[in-house]
């Protein structure tokens, strides 16, 4: 994975939580498009980027409850990543859960999950 590989925790920490969740959501949206096109290689790459950004978010967050919930959500993505038959419904549910992490991100639900 090359995209986001040079993104440091220090740089990522400069974004607020809303921005971090929305950027993770952007990768999930790319994954949704890949799923619709049945481009499984690009879908896997999208999940790799999601996992990287979630790891960075967990690393820079000071609230332990938020870190715990992000790690639980990360497990969902890890399952999708290793799945041999990707599920659009599972992807959609995971994407929906991600957007519920912050009120600002939740505002995007009608636009990206309609």
Looking at residue 93, its pLDDT comes to 98
Residue 82: Cβ-neighbour burial (10 angstroms; 0-12, 13-18, 19+): exposed
Which residue segments constitute the domains of the chain, with CATH numbers given?
14-112 (1.20.120)
Which residue bears the tokens 């960075």?
56
Give residue-wise pLDDT tens across range 27-55. 999 999 999 999 999 999 999 999 999 99
Give residue-wise pLDDT tens across range 94-103. 999 999 999 9
C-alpha closest to that of 27 among 51, 6, 9: 51
pTM confidence score: 0.93
């Amino acid at each position: 994975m090359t995209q986001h590989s040079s993104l440091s925790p220090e740089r990522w920490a400069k974004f607020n939580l809303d921005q971090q969740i929305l950027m993770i959501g952007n990768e999930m949206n790319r994954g949704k498009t890949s799923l619709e096109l049945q481009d499984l290689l690009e879908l896997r790459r999208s999940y790799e980027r999601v996992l990287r950004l979630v790891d960075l978010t967990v690393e820079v967050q000071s609230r332990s409850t938020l870190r715990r919930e992000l790690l639980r959500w990360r497990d969902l993505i890890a399952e999708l990543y290793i799945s041999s038959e990707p599920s659009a419904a599972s992807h959609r549910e995971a994407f929906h859960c991600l957007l519920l992490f912050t009120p600002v991100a939740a505002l995007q639900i009608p636009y990206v999950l309609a």
